[in-house]
Structure 1
Amino acid sequence: MLKILKGCGLAIVLTAGWSTVCAGVGVDEQAATYTRQYVQEIIGKFRHIPTPHAVEELIPVEVGGIQQWISVRGRDRRNPVLLFIHGGPGSPEMPTSWLYQGPWEEYFTVVQWDQRGAGKTSTINNPEIVTPTITMDRMVADGEEMVSLLRKRYNKEKIFILGHSWGTVMGLKIAEHHPEWLHAYIGMGQAINGPQNEQVGYAFALRSAKEAHNLQAIEELTAISPYPSPDGPTPLEHIVTQRKWLGYYGGMTWGRTSFDYEANVPLLSPDYTDDDLASSSQATMYSLIQLIPALSKLSLDGITKIECPIFIFAGRYDYATPSEIAAQWFKGLTAPQKKLFWFESSAHMMQLEQPGKLLMHLVQDIRPLAADVGDVAPEISKSE
């Protein structure tokens, strides 16, 4: 159940341990309780797109021999398609995207995709069958099939890909293999080298802990040294410890000590059922366990040429996929057009930390590549 405190603006309070105080308002007298379903319906109705050429689909499609869910939303289907490839592994963006994606939908047809072993896709597939197939090669192949499907379904010669975190591994490989399919590739929190990512992130967390004289953090981080493990994949519990303190010192979201602020956002998603939420939580762990060995050895340093435009969104304080590593790699990359944009007040979650700046770059710097070849809605292209 959700409790709404009248007189406090739009303060939504989850009764599972959250509370709020509104000066001058008697909570007992002014409180009303609503079901999660009711709040989801409110958000869903608000998000409805009533325009003549709208795209508003939430559907499973066959990719890689299984059913995989996509959300496709846009105010005009004549706009370019933007496929968001989420991170994790196993951390779908679909149930969170309702917070920030609305403005994107004026300029793009935005596709959120719950990957193999994630979110709604995990709900409708047998985990005993799907989990063993969660490999890097299979996931990249899924991504290529998804791009082909979207190009055909929405009658597009090319689309945009925006990869985030783990999704940048898939996105960069698709851009390398099939640049002719893309207006451009955008990497947000670009991963390049797994061992270096972990080393730099660990050093940041330990350095920050020592500067703060945080004895608990120092003890826990020292206990997992050497990090990452030099002799094979790093144990998941060591990764969890590193991420715990990396996040505490702002390396995941700058200025915040945890990721708790985002944790309950999916509860209000109009696209997710109770079963989706339950399956997603379990599936994340399965995906991590399956992919950690490959990610521990990840090296994309050998990719020195991409034959389509490429853009990097880099959080200045990102230590989950440290921006300094991506920026150094990007200097040596050859592409027909490339540019790196720094997000000076962000760490790893730019879509939540600086959503306005992200939208500005998508519309002003990246969308014109589609406009130049007529892949935009006529009404908008005239105003541009």
Structure 2
Amino acid sequence: MRGPSLKSVAIAVAIATLAVPALASPPPDTRAILGTVGKVVSANGIDEAKAVEIGGIQQWVTVRGKDRRNPILLVIHGGPAAPELPTRYLFEAPWTDYFTVVEWDQRGSGKTYLLNDPAKIAPTLSADRIVRDAEELVGYLRATYGKQKVFAIGHSWGTIIGLNLAARRPDWLYAYIGAGQIIDTVAAEKVNYAWVLDQAKRRGDAQAVRELQSIAPYPEKDGSLPIDKLGTERKWSVKFGGLTFGRDNYDYWENAEKISPDYSDADFKAIDQGSGFSLPKLLPDLAGANFTGLTKLDCPVIIFAGRHDYTTPSEPVQAWFRKLSAPSKRFVWFENSAHMMYGEEPGRVLVHLVQDARPLAAAVGDVAPEVDGP
């Protein structure tokens, strides 16, 4: 009687291997794996994460890029108090081929919230103070990394900070880039409310119609945005795709934050802690934002606009942009995006950063040379 063939032995071994319970080896540390994958290892690269004293407090800053000769791109996050750092691993790695990317957890946000006593920070929380923080940070980046200028890209709330920075220190910027730009909050919120109520009626969603009608007038007649009314409007705007086109929730993004290589469990909890702490204090500055009188900037301006954005809708932005005088300006539509274009169309964001922004630094020789072929 013959013994088993080599083929049957191989099949048996394969079946036995598949049958080994998953718990036979420890589960992988997802954060550590993602951190290792994203680590900058190029000889002339930079990969730093540290607390820096800005505005008299400790603020968390990361600096990552594959060639120090590339221009710095400062990311100014939204919210208020919604740092981009915990989700940057989803879209930012290709940026580091062309830029030295700086992430900054603003005063009262994320890791910076954890670094400081909230009682000390509370009296200082304002848009103006955060703009001055941004100025200090740019000054620090220029001095530390030997750059004449930087790019600043603001998202949502961050566009209030970024546009003020561009108005105050245009000589420090190659260009200002506004993604989900805010120009006139009251006008924008009126557009948002009309859209979301119309969507509720079109979909026959009686609960949405009832809840939305209950918050009228929105905004208030004095232009304020009560936090409970804002929450109701945003609840249904998210549901109908005004935050992320084609999605009815934000869970996908928040779940991605939970495995961030840049954030621990304590850091992740600090997102909600910082938001709860900061939003009530900064909401009046958000509601009062109005740049319609800013008709001239002395640095180039690029606007990234989601075609389906009903968080910061583009109608007020387009009207402002048409009147704006700047050394150069460009308005870029993201046809398959609402408000979250970094995650919705990351490839197109990269292309426009490289094609539209980076040459503005190349014009003064502040980019690493590109080498094609051997």
Whether these two folds match at TM > 0.5 is yes
Structure 2 contact 307–336 (Cα < 8 Å) conserved? yes
Contact 1:371-1:381 at 8 Å conserved across structures: no
Contact 1:81–1:111 (8 Å) recurs in 2: yes
Q: Cα 1:203–1:232, aligned 2, differ >3 Å: closer, same or farther?
A: closer
Q: 343, 347, 351: which one pairs with 1:352?
A: 343
Distance 1:27 1:197, change over 3 A: farther
Q: Which residue of 1 aligns with 2:240?
A: 249
Q: SS at the partner of 1:264?
A: helix
Alpha-carbon distance, 1:381 to partner: 6.7
Query: Given that residues 310 and 335 in structure 1 are in contact (C-alpha distance below 8 angstroms), is that contact kept between their aligned partners in structure 2?
Result: yes
Q: Is structure 2 residue 266 aligned with structure 1 residue 296?
A: no
User: What secondary structure does 2:86 align onto?
Assistant: coil
Answer whether contact 1:187 1:312 (CA < 8 A) is retained: yes
- What is the identity, as a one-letter code, of the residue corresponding to 1:149? Y
Could you give the per-residue CA deviations for residues 177-231 of structure 1, whole angstroms, max 9, x where no partner exists?
1111010000000001111111111111100000001001001101111101114
Q: Partner of 1:225 in structure 2?
A: 216
Superposed displacement of residue 131, structure 1: 2.2
In structure 2, C-alpha distance between the alignment counterparts of 1:302 and 1:381, rounded to whole Å: 44
Q: How does 1:29-178 map to 2 (within 5 A)?
A: 29=21, 38-178=29-169
3-state SS of paired residue (1:50): coil
- C-alpha root-mean-square deviation of aligned residues, in Å? 1.7
Q: Write out per-residue CA displacement over residues 132-189 of structure 1, whole angstroms, 9 at most, x where no aligned residue.
A: 2111110111111111111111100011000000000010111111111010000000
Rg: which structure is higher?
2
Aligned length: 356
Partners of 1:315 and 1:347 within 8 A in 2:
yes
Contact 1:132 1:290 in 2 (8 A): no
Change (3 A) 1:146 1:27: farther
Q: Distance in 2 between matches of 1:33 and 1:244?
A: 42
Structure 1: gaps spanning 5 or more residues: 1-25
Match of 2:7 in 1: none
Question: 1:98 offset after TM fit, Å?
Answer: 0.8
Query: C-alpha separation between the residues in 2 aligned to 1:34 and 1:282?
Result: 32
Equivalent position of 1:335 in the other structure: 326
Q: Please tell me whether the aligned partners of residues 72 and 110 of structure 1 are also in contact (alpha carbons under 8 angstroms).
A: yes
Q: Quote how far apart the aligned CAs of 1:234 are.
A: 2.1
Residues 312 and 341 in structure 1, CA contact (< 8 A), matched pair in contact too: yes
Question: What letter matches 2:92 in structure 1?
Answer: Q
Q: How far apart are residue 105 of structure 1 and its match?
A: 0.3
Alpha-carbon shift at residue 285 of structure 1 (Å): 1.6
Instruction: Quote the offset at 1:34 in angstroms.
Output: 5.9
Equivalent position SS for 2:193:
helix
| 1:336 maps to amino acid | P
Residue 294 of structure 1: how far off its partner (Å):
1.9
**How do 1:362-377 and structure 2 match up within 5 A?**
362-377=353-368
Q: Deviation at 1:232?
A: 5.9
Contact 2:183 2:316 in 1 (8 A): yes
Q: Give the CA deviation at 1:324.
A: 1.6
Given candidates 224, 230, 235, the residue that maps to 2:226 is 235
Aligned twin of 1:211: 202
Summarize the Cα distance change of 1:206–1:155 in structure 2 as closer, same or farther, 3 Å threshold.
same
CA pair 307-232 structure 1, distance change in 2 beyond 3 A: closer
Verify the 8 A CA contact 1:123 1:280 in the aligned structure 2: no
User: Cα distance, 1:297 vs. partner?
Assistant: 1.8
User: Secondary structure of the residue that 2:84 maps to in structure 1?
Assistant: coil
Cα offset for 1:31?
7.2
Scaled by the length of structure 2, the TM-score of the pair is 0.92
Moved over 4 A (4+): 26-36
Counterpart Cα distance in 1 of 2:294 and 2:20: 61
Structure 2 residue ranges without an equivalent (≥5): 1-17
Amino acid at match of 2:292: D
SS at match of 1:104: helix
What TM-score do the two structures reach when normalised by structure 1? 0.90
Q: Rate the CA distance shift 1:32–1:294 in 2: closer, same or farther, 3 A.
A: farther
- Counterpart AA for 2:172: W
Q: CA deviation at 1:268?
A: 1.2
Spell out, residue by residue over 1:313-356, the C-alpha distance to the aligned partner (whole angstroms, 9 max, x if none): 00001111111211111000000100100001100000000000
Contact 2:186 2:223 in 1 (8 A): no
Letter in 2 for 1:255: G
Partners of 1:340 and 1:32 in 2: how far apart? 54
CA offset digits 1:255-303 (Å, max 9, x no partner): 0011111011111111112221122211112211001112222211111
Matched, 1:286 2:310: no
Give aligned-pair identity as a percent. Answer: 49
